Amino acid sequence: MRPLRGVKKTLQLVKTAISRPAERADNPYATHVPVLIGLASLLNVRRVVEYGSGEYSTLTFLNRSAFPGLVELRSLENDAEWFAKIARRVGEDPRVEMIHVDGLMSLVAPDVDMSGCDLVFLDDSTNVDERASTIRAVAAKRLDSTVTIIHDYEMLEYRRAAGAFKNRFNFNSLNPNTGIVWNNAPIDVHKLRSLNKLIKQHSGCLHPSDVNGWIRVLKH
């Protein structure tokens, strides 16, 4: 029986090596950038709602090389100082509406019309419970053909909060992870897997925040 135990131990070690998460990125706020850029090549993204404005999300959506089809971005932010900073970076771009939220994002999410959106991006709050509440509020809308993206998807609380969605995929090639959840959107999971592998392949030579670099690699 000893040889069998040895085989089992070897298999356990292999399984552990395969499932070990990627090392946490030096800039954990940017790991969704290549996922956003890659999805822009797979989906016809014209209208976006984002919960939580950011240098690595808002400005990526407005990058015409990354999202050439974008016509409307509604960016909600409840940190007044951060809102002002991103608003200055955005400038007078007519495609974006910057919306300052006074209070919890999860309380306004039920009243936001997302029915015509191609993409919803969730990266709000610095508090796990608050973001989980926002995720649940968006999930409760039962959006049919909209794709929802969740940053820091390795967090169990966020995966549980997204449980109402019919389908899910985790981009685990970079840590923090980026999750994509949807109900009836025309998503090809095989293409998502290929994108995840491609991001992993280039993660050693491209920083997550290198928008132009990822555009060169992923939009060909």
Among 65, 63, 54, 62, CA closest to 32: 54
Q: Does a structural domain hold residue 201?
A: yes
What local confidence, expressed as pLDDT, does residue 220 receive?
66
Instruction: For residue 6, tell me if it sits in a domain.
Output: no
Specify the pTM. 0.89
Sheet holding 47-51, edge to edge: 96-100, 72-77, 47-51, 119-122, 147-151, 178-182, 167-171
Q: Which of 28, 7, 5 is nearest to 151 (CA)?
A: 28
User: Can you tell me the distance from the alpha carbon of 152 to that of 25, in angstroms, rounded to the nearest whole number?
Assistant: 12
Number of domains in the chain: 1
Tell me if 5 is assigned to some domain.
no
pLDDT of residue 21: 63
pLDDT for residue 20: 58
The rounded distance, in Å, linking the Cα atoms of 183 and 188 is 13
Q: What is the torsion angle, in degrees rounded to the nearest 10, for the CA atoms of residue 62, residue 63, residue 65 and residue 68?
A: 0
Is position 149 within any domain? yes
Predicted local distance difference test score (pLDDT) of residue 24: 83
The answer to the question of residue 8 being in a domain is: no
Per the domain annotation, does 58 fall within a domain? Answer: yes
**Concatenated DSSP letters of 45-73:** --EEEEES--TTTHHHHT-TTT-TT--EE
Q: Is residue 9 part of a domain?
A: no
Residue 10's pLDDT is 36
Amino acid at position 136, single letter: R
Phi, psi (deg, nearest 5) at residue 77 = -145, 135
Residue 172 placed within a domain: yes
Q: What angle do CA 131, 134, 136 make, to 5 degrees?
A: 115
Which residue bears the tokens 């000893």? 2
Mean pLDDT, consecutive 10-residue segments, the chain of 220 residues? 40 41 84 97 95 97 97 97 97 96 96 95 94 98 97 98 98 97 96 98 96 92
State the CATH number of the domain containing residue 64.
3.40.50.150
Q: What is the pLDDT of residue 171?
A: 98
Q: Which amino acid is at 146?
A: T
Domain encompassing residue 163: 25-218
Q: What is the pLDDT of residue 1?
A: 41
